Amino acid sequence: MDKTPIHDVFVIGGGINGCGIARDAVGRGYSVFLAEMDDLASGTSSGSTKLIHGGLRYLEYYEFRLVREALTEREVLWRNAPHIIWPLRFILPYSKGLRPAWMLRLGLFLYDHIGGRKLLPPTRTLDMRTDVAGKPLKPGFVKAFEYSDGWVNDARLVVLNARDAADRGAQIRTRTKVEGADYEDGAWTVRLHDLIDGVRYAVRARLIVNAAGPWVDHVLSQVLKHPDVHNVRLVQGSHIVVRKKFDDPRAYFFQNADGRLVFAIPYEEEFTLIGTTDQDYVGDPHKVKITEAEIDYLCAAASEYFSEAVRRADIVWSYSAVRPLYDDGASKAQEATRDYVLRVEPSAGPGAEPGGGAGSGPVIDVFGGKITTYRRLAEAMLDKIGQYLGPKGAKWTASAPLPGGDFAATGYEAEVEKLKSTYPFLDIAHARRLVRLYGTRAHAVLPGSAQSMADLGRHFGSDLYEAEVRYLIENEWAMTAEDVLWRRTKRGLWLTEVEAAGLNEFMMGLGCRSVGAAGSGREANA
């Protein structure tokens, strides 16, 4: 008899849904193992528009349940992670010939009132001839609406969920590919391949959660051997980052003549983030990159509003990701539902009979979803897991801070002051960045005995030092320079290619994985 310990839940996928489910499950008392074939948040979950929002445009498609749930989650997530999530006000200019003003105001009235808003301020109407929000825009915009949503550092949200899951006992394995699974004697035997050292091994579990994002159908067909698999519609969304277009801390939400909408958002202090696109994608999600047509579209869409046109030469970075939306048969990519679907597979594993029977075991798939509702998705998944494994524990994540988020929702400035008082040699911008990334755990990033910048170790460029890099390797599964520069910190926007190569060399010297060019997070630098 195989005496390998049997985990309750095996999660495939280290994006926001997989890590959120792992955290919720282990916190209720289930034993959990999670495998991610690349880095945490290396796919869809780091390629979002970085918003915690209700999805104003989804009201046009009558997605009222999704919008209500997402609006409710804004303040829940802000309270639990105020270092990486914070309120953001949006300016929606009225444009003649597009959606009428009364429709915009009605939509925003619903937006203000169906989600239990408590801390966020309500919508107000602006006179763009006198409000500073009109300054960077072309003349002719007279009226606009200002409303509330939230900002999120998406990649860090994923990592912090994984960190909390691991702190509670979950096994988290990155760069680990699931190669197959067999079900017998009441448990799955999942075959794994460690892509760093090449070792192959097996893990046993009672239930599999397929949260592989764009690869969810691949897992079903290639790993679990299901025939005729087609559940997701892959939709590509791309963004460009340009030098700062405006000084206002508010963001813009622009309507386009084709019915689509584009955000222009303050980004990383010195930049403006513009996106997103919506187009169907065919091909390997690993190879997704912004297209020439998407670059032209985003530049043109923003230039319709900004008095100073957005040009290709302004772009300092771009990124693209594939959204794995549930295929509901919508005619246009932007109309496909962003709601999530959790489905229990009727059979799984080689030799399984359709509809169940010998060789089958419980598999629950995750289709669709959006980053704002990941926590509610996880709760819904735990309801289903409880039906198979027996319920354990009550819902708990709504009032549980993520690592570093154990301070008041409005207490960010106070945390910066605490860090500065402990480490007075830190530049204020450096202290603010550390609190924005790590919250109260910023004190653990820096050596307790540090008396000067020299005590932080090797300087890699910008305000990135060895102490922070070592923390990310030891605590946040960072294995490559790209992990550090483009997912954990976004310092890739500031480091030169030579500096990034130096970081890559340093990490290789510590035994981390080599990926060649350390700046591979840059998709476009035109």
- Number of Cβ atoms within 10 Å of the Cβ of 160: 28
Distance CA 437, CA 342 (A): 31
Tokens of 122: 């309500």
Q: How far is CA 331 from the centre of its chain?
A: 26
Residue 3: pLDDT over 70: no
Q: How does pLDDT run across 124-142, given as a tens digit for each residue?
A: 999 999 999 999 999 999 9
Q: Can you name the residues that pair with 306 across neighbouring β-strands?
A: 137
Per-residue pLDDT of 76-88, as tens digits, reads 999 999 999 999 9
Mean pLDDT of 346-369: 63
CB atoms within 10 A of CB 267: 20
Q: Which two tokens stand for residue 147?
A: 């409303």
What percent of the chain lies above the pLDDT cut of 90?
77
DSSP letters, 234-265, are EEEEEEEEEE-----SSEEEEE-TTS-EEEEE
Of 306, 156, 149, give the one whose Cα is nearest residue 243: 306
**Separation of CA 268 from chain center:** 16
Contact 171, 33 (CB under 8 A): yes
The pLDDT mean for the chain works out to 91
The mean pLDDT of 208-226, rounded to a whole number, is: 93
The pTM of this model reads: 0.93
State residue 25 phi and psi, 5-degree precision: -65, -50
pLDDT one-digit tens code per residue, 408-425? 999 999 999 999 999 999
Query: What pLDDT does residue 354 have?
Result: 36
The dihedral sign for the CA sequence 452, 456, 457, 461? negative
Q: Is residue 522 predicted with pLDDT exceeding 50?
A: no
Q: Please give the share of the chain, as a percent, with pLDDT higher than 70.
A: 92
Q: 439: which 2 tokens?
A: 């919250």
Whether 508 shows a pLDDT value over 90: the answer reads yes
Chain centre to alpha carbon of residue 380: 19
Work out the angle between the directed axes of helices 64-80 and 374-389 (0-180°, nearest 10): 100
Residue 472's pLDDT is 98
Reported confidence tier of residue 513, pLDDT bands at 50, 70, 90: low
